[in-house]
Structures are given as structure tokens and as C-alpha cells.
Chain A
Amino acid sequence: MTDTSASAPGQPTAQTAGLASGGAGSRRLRGARNYLALIPFHVYIALFLILPTAIVAVGAFTTATGQPTVDNVTRLFTDETFVDAFTKSIELAVSTAIAGAIIGGLLAWAVVRGDPNGPLRQLVIAASGVLAQFGGVMLAFAFLATFGFNGLATMFVRDALHVDVLTDASWLYSLTGLVVVYTYFQIPLMLIVFLPSLDGLRQEWYDASASLGGSSWSFWRHVGGPILAPAFLGALLLLFTNAFSAYATAAALISQGASIVTLQIAGSLQSEVVIGQENVGKALALGMIIVVSLVMALYALIQRRASRWVK
């Protein structure tokens, strides 16, 4: 090859063409081999993500008897109950994600500042691992038994302390109640997912910033903040979807009246009174998929901006 190019400089076309084809050949082979290794992943994605999404999407545009229709999806925008359900679900998810992210983030910061091998750190991490999964009926029942109308704390504060702050326990069965209960599992989840990023923040960077005359504020503004931003936003998104898709906790607390989307979906699938509503439920599920997709797109956009500094 080198010989040819040296003796015949007048034929660069042939030479480059030859090189290109040879390179592309091996690259294609390597590409195919790489793809082969990815097959299990693709099968997994197809079975557990694409197939269910397709079933939901097709069902959303089908009547109970199998005819095509747009009524189910139109109802998402016209039926006051459903519009309201989406509004509440998003409100709930956003507020608990923000509350969880801020409180959990500060808690993680506190843990990082402590002794890296100390018992407190081990304890907090272990407890968070358990509490992040403490949801559903158990959690709802714990809150009911503590802060419900006839709960332990409610009774104690009223009868022993003679203060009326907790007596009207109706807050627990409202959106406020759900926000409080959800935040209970959002905080430890935030701690678990955010802690590694905080651990990655080097003391040397702070020292470098300080030695160049930077204040604590300028360190966070120009170094710490930009480095942590993508991880923080990712955690925020995780918390949002975690709350947006939660079902069992809310179901145990609130069974009457109009409510959040996941409960509406359950109602459409499980009713023994009104039947043939399964595809309305699928339309609601499709709505949820779209909301999460939009949030993820937004996240990707922000992350690209936020991580510019790091690159």
C-alpha cells in the first residue's frame, strides 16, 4: 500500500478508495459483532418496554368491542375528571420531587461531610435503602394509625397536650396528605441516588478554587454546581416518575371521589359495577407515557446545557 502510494502519487483516488473499503469492512464486522452482544438487551427492551407500550397505544384507540376509535383519547382532554386527575398527579409528582430532592440532597450533603467510615453514615445509608422502598399499603396504614382521625399522635396531642393542631385529620386524606406521605419515601430515595455524586466532589477542587481567591459561593457557582447539576436533575426526574406512577399508597388512603391518574386507571380495570372501560384505562396510561416522555425530553435538553461546562 505504502509502495503503491509512493510510486504512483498520481492515483490518490484509487488509494483512498482502497483504504476506505478495507477500513469499512472491518468496521462493519466489528459493528455486527457489537450488535450481536446487544441482542439480549434489545429483546429485553422489546418485551418489557416496546410491547407493553404498543399494547397500551393500540388499546387506547380501540373500543371495548374492538372497533377503532379516538373517543378514549379525546376524553383525556374533554372529561373534566380526567383533566383534573392529570393536573393533580402532576402537581403531586412535581411537589414531592422538589421537596424530596431538596431535603434528600441536604441530607446527603450532611452525610458526605461526616466521617466516611463512621457509623452514622452506614446507618443513614442502610435506613434509606429500606425506607425508600417503604411504600404502598404499609406506609399508608402507618400514617393512618399515627395521624388519622383516630391515630395515635392525633389522640396524644389532643388528649395529653390539649392542643388542637392535629385533631382535624382530614388533611391526611387530601392532596396535602399524599404529598407528605410520598415525600416520606422520596427523601431516602434521593439520598441513595445523589450520594455517589456528592462523594465524587473532591476536596482538592475546593482547595484549588480557594487558593485562586474563590469564595465558597464562587466555588458552588462555577465548580460544584455545574458538576452536580446533571446528577441532581436526573435524580429529580427519577423522583418525579416515582411519584407520578405510584399507586398502592394512594389507593389505601383515598378510595372515594375523583383522584389521581393511577387510581383512575385502576378504576377502569377493576370495577365490578361499570365494565368495558379497560381501553379508557389504556388511554389514561398512554397519557402518562406521554407526560413522562415530555419530562424526559425536557430533562435531556436541560442536561445538555447543564453539562456543557463538564465537557
Chain B
Amino acid sequence: MQKRSIRMGSLSAVAALLFAACSSGGGAATTAPSAAAPSESASAGAPSGSASASAAAGDPKTATSAAAAGGVDAVCAAGKEEGQVTLIATPANWANYGQMITDFQTKYGIKVQSDQPDTDSAGEIKAAKDLAGTGRQPDIFDLGSVVAAANTDMYAPYQVATWADIPDANKEATGLWVNNYTGFESIAYDSKLGDISKVADLADPKYKGKVALNGNPLKASAGFNGVVLASLANGGSADDLAPGVDFFKKLADSGNLLPVDPNDASVASGQTPIVIDWTYNQGGLVASLKPKGIDWKVVIPSDAPPVAAFYNSAINKDAAHPAAARCWMEYIFSDAGQNTWLKGFALPVRLGAMQTAGTADAAALAAVGAPSTAPVQLTQAQIDAGTKYLTDNWKFIDIK
């Protein structure tokens, strides 16, 4: 607390100096950093002590909603003063995060630091604990549901301006975490191989050594839901993953299943020509593979109901840039942010409300090809039962 008010004081002093320099320098003003613009000059006039005291009423750094901090603009202006927001586990190809970051930087002039893009949910929490107090800790989490629910003491509650649009089932009541986007479990493949439209197609002998599942189901949500998808396609249910495990066992026995963890490079080089993964991961690859001569197709298989699993956004309660973090939350849950996800083949949580209001990007929605059937989303209890079953049974790919 002490440190923060001192820093704010010195910031204002620097701003005042800059301001003075600009006005006396005249023509040189164009090179002055625009970061220290209008809101700063106001606080520079007042003694710094009273500035931080008055901010306490609706401090954007601790506010639990935009309204409490004087609106989204006030939150983002405070975020701009902080200058940066630190993200973690947000690869540019994942759910269109690359564009999300660029658009946000352009709109608000807040630098986005995207650290450890390829880490996992557990790694995000670990990084927040390990780096706490260094200033390099993540400000924002993007977490799978299991990890999100298990670490609620790590988050600062915050309700975005569009809070009312988000269904109650998709958010923690106080705003500790909010569902942000989901994909559908899909089959992505190189169209050279022919047409694939069903999970059952993957067992075709001509796909020997070609099918990869994104991640071990006991480690990665994408892999886990791949087993759920296979189960649903083979007479199983969200409560019964045995048929899914049996199906993958069949693929392993026939040699169709590659035990390799697919990534952008393995897809681009043709080592994993068929990948079972979220639409928002594989959809992003379509455009980048086209110049390499690969016609990459992403299909939601027709022999199973769609499988979805939301990720969650949360603010690190120990964020080094708390106002910028809140500004980021406002942006990703705004119409623009939600449409950015949609363009990345991820279905944003406010999609229903935006379709009603007519603000959803129709072209992007059509490209996702969202199926009309209601998606299957596992409850925490079903995930627990499923992982227990997998722990005992996902052993068949024995390395000889």
C-alpha cells in the first residue's frame, strides 16, 4: 500500500514535468508519450496525497465492477497509467488470442505482455504463486474449469459491464471467474486424405499412423473431451466413458492412433494429418496452412452430439496491473472481444445475447458451423468420475 501511493506520487510528478516540458517546448510536443495524456494532467495538478485518497472511493485497481470504478473508460484510463497487462497461456493461434491482443493494444494503448503461451492451467496458477510480488506475475488467468474451481482464493472478484448478458450457469455469482469461450471437440484433417465426417471414419485402415489426439486425456482438457466425444459416438454418455476408451484402444491396436502430441509444426509438416481437438485450436490453423498447400478442414463429427467445455477468465488478486487487468476483462467480454473469439472458431459466452441483439458477427458464426443440437458439457462430478475411470484404463498404449 505504502509503495503504491509513493509510486503514484512520483508518476504524477513525472507527468507534471512532462506536461511542463511539452508546453514550453512547443513544436516538440509530437514526440511526447501519449500515455501521459488527459487523466494524468488532472491528477498532476492536485497534491498526490489527496489524489490517492480520493481514488479510494472507486479505485479501478480494486473495484468489483466497472460501475463502482466510474465506468469502463475510467477503468481503462487507470489501466493505461499502469501501462501493461500480463497474460499467460494465451498462444496467438489459440481461440484467436493473437488478434484479441493486437486489437486491445490498439484500442486502449495498453501493452500486452503474453508470457508462457504454451503452459497449461495448472502452470498458470503455479506461475502466479512463484512470481508473486515480482511484478511479472500474470494479471489474468485463462483456466480450464477443474483448475478454475479449485483455486478461487487466487482471484479478485470482478463483474464486467456486460455481466447481465452472461447466463448464471456460466459465472461465479460474485465474479471470481466467468466462462469465457468454448469450442466443440472436432476432427481436423488434411483434405488430401478424403472426406471425414464421423468419429467412426477414424478407424478406417487407410488412416493407419495418422490420427492424433491433442494431449493426454489425464492431462489436457482437449484430450479428455476427445475421449468424451468418442464415447458419445459409440453408445456411451457423459457418465460412461468406457466406449470412448475402447474406441481409442481399437485405434491403437490397428496402429491408426499416433501417441504423438500434435502441435502446429507437426500439422504443418504432415506428421499428424488428422487431429482430434477443439475447433478454436484447429480453426486458427486453416488460414496459416493454406499458403503451405494444405487444405486443412475442421469438422464437428455427425455421429455424436457436440461436446463443449468452457474456459474461464479470472483476475489474479495479486495482479501487478489490477486496473489494466480489469480493462482487459471489459474488452474480452465486450461485443468486439466476443466477436474476436467467434472469428477464431470459439463460441463466446455472450453469443446468445448477442444473437438476440444482432451484434454477433454473422459470417464468423456461419464459419464455425455451430450445430443445432444442444452441446454436451460435463459437470464437475462427471469429470471426476471420468478421470477416475481413465486413470485406471488409459494405459493401453503400452510402450513396448
Contact = CB atoms under 8 A, between A and B. Distances in A.
Contacts of B219: 266-267, 270-274
B387 interface: yes
Nearest to A141: B265
B216 A151 contact: no
Given A149-B210, A178-B399, A267-B216, A256 B224 contact: no
B120 A253 contact: no
B389 to A, nearest CB: 11
B257 interface: yes
B379 interface: no
A175 B215 contact: no
Contacts of B147: 272, 275
Contact of B391 (A254, A256, A274): A274
A165 to B, nearest CB: 15
Interface in A189-234: none
Contact of A275 (B150, B224, B258, B394): B150
A273 B383 contact: yes
Most B CB contacts (10 A, CB to CB) among A149, A151, A272 go to A272
A273 B394 contact: no
Classify chain A's interface size. Answer: 35 or more
A81 B397 CA distance: 12
B136 interface: no
Given A145-B271, A275-B122, A257 B210 contact: no
A169 B391 contact: no
A145 B269 contact: yes
A248 B364 CA distance: 37
Contacts of B301: none
Nearest to A169: B209
B205 interface: no
B266 A141 contact: yes
B210 A150 contact: yes
Contacts of A258: 394-395, 397-399
A253 B122 contact: no
Contact of A256 (B120, B123, B144, B257): B257
B201 interface: no
Nearest to B217: A273
B271 A144 contact: yes
B258 A88 contact: no
Contact of A168 (B122, B255, B391): B255
Given A144-B271, A150-B209, A272-B121, A257 B260 contact: no
Most B CB contacts (10 A, CB to CB) among A170, A252, A273 go to A273
Nearest to A151: B271
Contacts of B144: 272-273
B400 to A, nearest CB: 5
Given A254-B259, A255-B261, A272 B146 contact: yes
Interface string B123-144: 1001000000000000000011
Given A272-B120, A273-B224, A275-B147, A256 B259 contact: yes
Nearest to A269: B122
Contact of B146 (A174, A251, A255, A275): A275
B259 A253 contact: yes
A173 interface: yes
Contacts, number: 122
A122 interface: no
A272 B118 CA distance: 13
Interface string B206-217: 001110010111
Interface string A243-262: 00000000111111111100
Contacts of A148: 209, 258, 260, 271
Contact of B259 (A257, A266, A274): A257
A293 interface: no
A189 to B, nearest CB: 23
A178 B400 CA distance: 10
Given A169-B209, A275-B150, A255 B259 contact: yes
Interface in B373-400: 383, 387, 391, 394-400
B121 A255 contact: no
Contacts of B150: 275-276
B17 interface: no
B186 interface: no
B270 interface: yes
Interface in A45-83: 81
B218 interface: yes
Nearest to A92: B399
B387 A149 contact: no
Contacts of A272: 120-122, 143-144, 146-147, 219-221
A307 interface: no
Given A148-B258, A274-B387, 20 more contacts: A141-B266, A144-B260, A148-B209, A149-B210, A150-B210, A252-B261, A254-B260, A255-B260, A257-B394, A257-B395, A258-B397, A270-B219, A271-B120, A271-B122, A273-B221, A273-B224, A274-B218, A274-B219, A275-B122, A276-B150
Minimum-distance CB pairs A-B, first 8: A257-B397, A149-B209, A255-B261, A272-B121, A272-B144, A256-B259, A258-B395, A271-B219
Interface of A: 81, 88, 141, 144-145, 148-151, 168-170, 173-176, 178, 251-260, 266-267, 269-276
18 contacts: A141-B269, A148-B260, A149-B209, A149-B210, A150-B209, A150-B210, A170-B209, A173-B399, A175-B399, A256-B252, A256-B257, A257-B397, A257-B399, A270-B122, A272-B144, A272-B147, A273-B217, A273-B383
